[in-house]
A and B are shown apart, each in its own frame.
Chain A
Amino acid sequence: MTTPAERRLVRKLKARSPAAFESLMRRYQSPIFNMLFRMIGNREEAEDLAQEVFITVFKRIDTFRGESSLATWIYRIASNHCINRKKYLTRRKHYDKRSFDDVTDRDQLGDGRVGVSERMPRPDEMAEGLQMERLIQEAISNLDEDQRLVVVLRDIQNLTYEEIGEITGLPPGTVKSRLHRARMALKEKLAGQLR
């Protein structure tokens, strides 16, 4: 499942090469951070969790056998961390709806935002875009844990059904049906609010 280049990288990672680890982080840190932010809805939590994901990768790289791609293996670690953190936060009752407001904070998006339109949006457009961003993020955050993970991996991270199956351990058919239910639930939550 892994490419020759990836196998070389894994060999170096298993030898604990700092340069290989830096290269791995440069490649995956933003996708993993973005995925965790969309799952958790809080920038600080997502950053802390993303750091823990890469620490786990560093510690457990010896257990990577190359049966899946390195990317799906890292995503699996990230989704496990995410599930555990959510459980922990729910137990501690630390996590609340305020975290959704993070996404409307201009500074939170700040320089960390990529892929924006080259045209500078007008203030009203920006405000509207941020409001829409907040609504969608809130709708995602209110999905069931399982549905949220599938939507984030498919519609935000653009992974294939097969990759999502490897990450979640679900058969492709279950991934498809779960994605459908998740999207329909989102549609119900956002109906009338989308332009």
Chain B
Amino acid sequence: MDHDRARDLFTQYHEEDLSDAELAELEEHLAECDECREEWETYRKTIDGVSGLFELAAPEDFTRSVEQKIRKRSRGRFFGDQRPKSMQFAVVSFILILLFILAYLVMTAATEIIILDESQDKETSQEATAPEKGEAGK
């Protein structure tokens, strides 16, 4: 095997993609040829260096930024309501509770007014009947 042929096989060697015969021939050449062995070492270190580069993560607000852009470009058609579902639920619940309390207060007040009216009616009718009784006694 000559040097050029050996170097042509580096990628397949690295990917473990050589036939048994090619593998044996290349390894034999590398064992004998200092120059190609050195080339192979540099090749291997290069790929290790590239594979070992830092893996960068997207910024934390990435999803939000994309959704905001879609909302803006679709004029609010998509991702229109940015409030979380739990918050929407809390708002609806709060409004319902308020309505319930309001309804309770109105009903209580209405009942008190009716009771008051009834007691006033009673007092008025008692006052009206009292002189009649007096006159009857005479």
> A residues engaging B (CB < 8 A)?
16, 18, 21-22, 25-26, 29-30, 32-34, 37-38, 43, 47, 50-51, 54-55, 58, 109, 111-116, 132-133, 136-137, 140, 151, 155-156, 176, 179-180, 183-184, 186-187, 190-191, 194-195
Contacts and interface: CB of A to CB of B under 8 A. Distances in A.
A109 B56 contact: yes
Nearest to B81: A18
B58 A33 contact: yes
Contacts of B42: 187, 190-191, 194
Most-contacted residue by chain A among B11, B47, B50, B56 (CB, 10 A): B56
A50 B58 contact: yes
A54 to B, nearest CB: 5
Contacts of A55: 66, 69-70, 73
Interface of B: 7-8, 10-12, 17, 39, 42-43, 45-47, 49-51, 53-59, 62-63, 65-67, 69-70, 73, 78-79
B61 to A, nearest CB: 10
A109 B57 CA distance: 9
The 3 A-B residue pairs with the shortest CB-CB distance in the complex, in nearest-first order = A180-B11, A29-B58, A33-B58
Nearest to A180: B11
Nearest to B79: A18
A114 B59 CA distance: 12
A68 B50 CA distance: 27
A180 B8 contact: yes
Given A155-B51, A184-B7, A187-B43, A51 B69 contact: yes
